[in-house]
Amino acid sequence: MYLFQILQPTIDQNPIFGNSVQNGPSLFLKWEYGFYKFLEWIGEIFGVVFTQGTWEIVKAVLSVVSVFCIAVILYCSIRMFEIRKKERRHVEHEIAEYARHQKEREKEQEKNKEISENPDWVRVIRMLSSENPSEWKLSVLEADNMLDKLLGQMGFKGENIGEKLKTADSRHFKHLSLAWEAHAVRNRIAHEGSAFELTLREARRVVAMYEVIFQEFGFI
């Protein structure tokens, strides 16, 4: 009794216990009791809902979901592997195609160099190698344009090839007669158009005359 009288002021001043000793349970104890009752109520609900049979169903459902997720992961992994494999094959194919085109381009350039260093003459030979008769006529016209450039570089004056050839001297132009003959065929192509029939043999003969002239002056 003496000890309680000593501790009573301290107990009365404690915000947690309040007047629990003299006047009944404090507010803290009431809340604690309510919390435990709530937990007990939740436990009863779980006990009713999640019975042994319910847990078995939940386990079965979770197992199915787990198997499904694993299957999806495996499928995605396999698809990613296949996609990467296809991408690698595509890249390898693109690299091989680029290398092949590059090799063909280099081979074509080497072939053109064997024909001539002059790109205009390479174009003449390509058109002459065509199976289209119109290309044969164009090869003669292109060769005649090259002759016009050559005469201009040599210093011959005139508004057209005919006037320039008139000022030429056979002593300095050894194949002047070939120039006149080839230019005459060019004029027939230009003036008669589609009415003028040019065979491949004739086209080759005319282009060969231009070639002799160009080689004489190192033009090709």
**Same domain as 210, residue 123:** yes
CA distances from 150 to 17, 44, 166, 216 (A): 121, 110, 15, 11
pLDDT mean for each 10 residues of the chain (220 residues): 43 46 53 74 68 72 88 91 88 80 69 67 92 94 95 89 89 89 95 92 95 89
Domain boundary among 115, 133, 160: 115
**Same domain as 49, residue 73:** yes
Question: Would you say residue 16 lies in a domain?
Answer: no
Question: Would you say residue 7 lies in a domain?
Answer: no
For residue 2, the model assigns a pLDDT of: 42
For residue 57, the model assigns a pLDDT of: 78
Indicate the number of domains in the chain: 2
CA atoms of 66 and 56, how far apart (whole Å): 15
CA atoms of 100 and 114, how far apart (whole Å): 21
Q: Which domain holds residue 95?
A: 24-115
**Same domain as 212, residue 137:** yes
Question: Would you say residue 157 lies in a domain?
Answer: yes
Tokens of 106: 């280099």
For residue 135, the model assigns a pLDDT of: 95
pLDDT tens track for 71-119: 999 999 999 989 988 888 888 888 788 778 777 766 666 665 555 678 8
**Same domain as 107, residue 60:** yes
Count CB-CB contacts under 10 A for residue 146.
Answer: 20
**Same domain as 123, residue 80:** no
**Same domain as 126, residue 195:** yes
For residue 103, the model assigns a pLDDT of: 74
**Same domain as 203, residue 133:** yes
For residue 18, the model assigns a pLDDT of: 45
For residue 8, the model assigns a pLDDT of: 45
For residue 16, the model assigns a pLDDT of: 44
CA atoms of 217 and 176, how far apart (whole Å): 12
